[in-house]
Amino acid sequence: MSEKNKKKAYFIKKTIRTLKLSNAHVLDKAITPQTVTPHKFDIITARALASAPKIIELSEHLLSKNGKFLFMKGELKKINEEVAQLDNNTYSYVIHKKKTKDTNRHILEIIQK
């Protein structure tokens, strides 16, 4: 996991230790195209960070071969504007509507072809 906020990263690390999770690690810095990690990630997720194309630009080098991006998004119109910027030869996507009464939320799933 990556969490650039030190206070939040500390909480996540403490939770990992408390739950004795051996397959979870926290990178307590922002992800950039220059970020190097010992492993690739099966899933890269984000909420309220940036547009989908921007997040992909920052992190696609960290995604495993069969990995996917999962982004929490709001209005469908905005999501469609973002996915229109994706290269259709490189990525496919599915928009999942969250089943909530009072909010307009979606999960954008993007997969490398």
Is pLDDT of 14 > 80? yes
Amino acid letter for position 32? T
pLDDT in tens, 47-100: 778 899 999 999 899 988 889 999 988 888 899 999 999 888 888 899 988 877
Q: What pLDDT does 19 receive?
A: 96
User: How confident is the prediction for the chain on average, in pLDDT?
Assistant: 87
The DSSP result for 10-43, as a single string, is HHHHHHHHHHT-SS---B-S---TT---SS-EEE
Q: What pLDDT does 68 receive?
A: 93
Q: What pLDDT does 13 receive?
A: 93
All domains of the chain, ordered by start, with CATH?
A: 1-29 (no CATH), 31-112 (3.40.50.150)
